[in-house]
Amino acid sequence: MSKIKKLLVANRGEISLRIMRTAKEMGISTVAVYSEADRNSPHVHFADEAICLGPAPSSESYLLGEKIISLSKELNVDAIHPGYGFLSENADFARKVKDAGIIFVGPSPESIEVMGSKLAAKQAVSHYDIPLVPGTEEAISDISVAKRRAAEIGYPILIKASAGGGGKGMRIVENEEEFESQMQRAVSEAKSAFGDGAVFIEKFITSPRHIEIQILGDQKGNVVYLFERECSIQRRHQKVIEEAPSAVVTPEMRKAMGDAAVGVAKACDYYGAGTVEFIVDDQLNFYFLEMNTRLQVEHPVTEMITGKDLVREQIYIAEGRQLSFSQEDLKIHGHSIEVRVYAEDPRNNFLPDIGTLHTYQRPEGPGIRVDDGFEQGMAIPIYYDPMIAKLITHAEDRTSAIDRMIRAIDEYKISGIQTTLGFCRFALSHEAFISGNFDTKFVEHYFTPEVLDSDLTLEESELLAALAVEFLQKETNISIPNSSQGGTNESAWRKRLN
């Protein structure tokens, strides 16, 4: 066991601040890094020491692994926390940190390597009893073989980049005719975005929900799961609203998913905090998607319902301590929801909307947590992910957590840029969300920019939402082929919940 005394956070914004807050509580001194664009950021002011890495572009600052390591050595830093994004899933960086005699607050480089490739991950878990989405187990090298497999699986299918991430590198193929052209596009996109052209195919689950399991493992082989997070409200395959627990997961399903997630972790000798992502179909079958070998953006909802500080646990694990609790000690307390506040314009296809935060006032009061990295008057730089804050509520039950979130959104005052707050308010007031009857197609099914312009009361918008659901049900009954239930995506979930 080696006690960490000085921690460098190789990240920026809200996650850098969030990690340093826990470090301070633990008596660990903190080092922030920043780019020229972030010179005045709260994470820089909060740290005990701060170092400028270079100009704004990530490739000249936050991605300079070697520079971060050599600065760490100069400053006698004994551990580096990578946060999420940037270098967090870079096995080579984790290895160099270790070789420099510095603790990497995360899993081993080997675990990162295996799970960083969706194909290697599937191979690693194949010896365990973990359900996988039907598809190819290896990278596609022969188009005609892949086509035959696709015909067996049945269209639509998804072509995925093995090295993909952040919702990028996926292509839906509706029928055999477009297979080759989509395949060519997928390979060239994968090469240019991830430097690796390996792609594979997966059955495209219609009406899917994204439900993931948080795990924690120590370096002695103990692994526990901290229940699920439902992340089905997405745009561009990227999450915007997350909650724990899920509205549809039963205790039996929770245990089955938890056990599967622990199996995935064991398959790669995992230690640290990690997330095992599953896709769930409308019959509540779940399939392993991928493992994220880092702290997740939406980790706060798990902290709220379990009472555990995941960053503190990460640090303990990195120090070599044994987990201080077992699976039986973990319980779900109440319900928590997170909405991601992105500097994006929902009226314009959720495209980034960069500018200055002329007004920026956070909501307050019982059960509210805001993880952010900006202050009023600051400009949102164009160089990075446009997420400016995460708004989290915690309450006794799901309904109260939703009501609390709507209250908090109404209190949140942001001007100068467009954000996803209005969209999130719409989603949370929507009948489909309230009933738990939704999937990853929520935006496509229900959202049009017009809904943001009306200043309806909650009751009025709920009524409209119910009418919209009825209308859509009639419409989609005719227009959605391939639905084995003969109904709509929407109604499959409804049947289950009623």
The reply to whether 85 sits near ligand ADP by the rule CB under 6 A is: yes
Of 23, 97, 133, 240, the residue at the interface with ligand ADP (CB under 6 A) is 133
**What's the gap between Cα 400 and its chain centre?**
24
**What's the gap between Cα 270 and its chain centre?**
19
Across 259-402, the runs of DSSP E, i.e. the strands, are 272-280, 286-292, 335-342, 344-345, 351-352, 359-361, 368-372, 387-395
Distance CA 32, CA 25 (A): 16
The reply to whether 279 sits near ligand ADP by the rule CB under 6 A is: yes
Q: What residues between 425 and 464 interact with ligand ADP by CB under 6 A? A: 440
Q: Which residue is nearest to ligand ADP (CB)?
A: 165
Distance CA 400, CA 407 (A): 10
Of 204, 342, 383, 438, the residue at the interface with ligand ADP (CB under 6 A) is 204
Nearest to 245 by CA among 112, 97, 401: 401
Of 14, 78, 230, 277, the residue at the interface with ligand ADP (CB under 6 A) is 277
Say which amino acid occupies 227. Answer: F
**Beta-strand pair 286-292/223-235:** unpaired
For residue 234, the partner it binds in Mg ion, ligand ADP, none, with Cβ less than 5 to 8 A by kind, is ligand ADP
Q: How far is the CB of 239 from Mg ion (least distance, A)?
A: 9
59 φ, ψ (degrees, to nearest 5) = -65, -15
For residue 352, the partner it binds in ligand ADP, Mg ion, none, with Cβ less than 5 to 8 A by kind, is none
The reply to whether 166 sits near ligand ADP by the rule CB under 6 A is: yes
- Does the annotation mark 294 as catalytic? yes
Cβ atoms of residues 12 and 79 within 8 Å: no
Q: Which is nearer to Mg ion, 219 or 296 (CB)?
A: 296
Of 58, 162, 292, 336, the residue at the interface with ligand ADP (CB under 6 A) is 292
Catalytic residue among 254, 294, 340, 425: 294
Give the count of residues interacting with ligand ADP (CB under 6 A).
28
Sign of CA dihedral 181, 119, 277, 94: negative
Q: Which long-range contacts (CB under 8 A, 24 or more apart) does 45-54 make?
A: 46/17, 46/20, 46/21, 47/9, 47/20, 49/75, 51/75
Distance CA 102, CA 31 (A): 14
The reply to whether 158 sits near ligand ADP by the rule CB under 6 A is: yes
Q: What residues between 297 and 336 interact with ligand ADP by CB under 6 A? A: 297-298
Nearest to 392 by CA among 369, 360, 414: 369
Greatest alpha-carbon span in the chain: 66
Burial of 297 (0-12, 13-18, 19+ CB in 10 A): buried
Q: How far is the CB of 295 from ligand ADP (least distance, A)?
A: 8
6 CB neighbour count, 10 Å cutoff: 17
Q: How far is the CB of 170 from Mg ion (least distance, A)?
A: 10
Distance CA 478, CA 487 (A): 9
The reply to whether 234 sits near ligand ADP by the rule CB under 6 A is: yes
Contact stretch for ligand ADP (CB under 6 A) within 70-78, 159-167, 306-314, 362-370:
159-167
Q: Which is nearer to ligand ADP, 78 or 344 (CB)?
A: 344
Q: How far is the CB of 153 from ligand ADP (least distance, A)?
A: 10
**What's the gap between Cα 470 and its chain centre?**
31
Q: How far is the CB of 250 from ligand ADP (least distance, A)?
A: 21
For residue 402, the partner it binds in Mg ion, ligand ADP, none, with Cβ less than 5 to 8 A by kind, is none
Q: What residues between 267 and 326 interact with Mg ion by CB under 5 A? A: 277
182 CB neighbour count, 10 Å cutoff: 18
Q: How far is the CB of 290 from Mg ion (least distance, A)?
A: 5
Contact stretch for ligand ADP (CB under 6 A) within 18-26, 162-170, 323-331, 351-359:
162-170
Q: Which is nearer to Mg ion, 47 or 115 (CB)?
A: 115
Distance CA 226, CA 446 (A): 32
Q: How far is the CB of 203 from ligand ADP (least distance, A)?
A: 6
The reply to whether 243 sits near ligand ADP by the rule CB under 6 A is: no
For residue 179, the partner it binds in ligand ADP, Mg ion, none, with Cβ less than 5 to 8 A by kind, is none
The reply to whether 167 sits near ligand ADP by the rule CB under 6 A is: yes
Q: Which is nearer to Mg ion, 169 or 272 (CB)?
A: 169
Nearest to 276 by CA among 210, 323, 203: 210
* Interface with ligand ADP (CB under 6 A): 84-85, 133, 158, 164-167, 202-205, 208, 210, 234, 237-239, 277, 279, 289-290, 292, 296-298, 385, 440
* Interface with Mg ion (CB under 5 A): 277
> Looking at the annotation, which residues are catalytic?
294
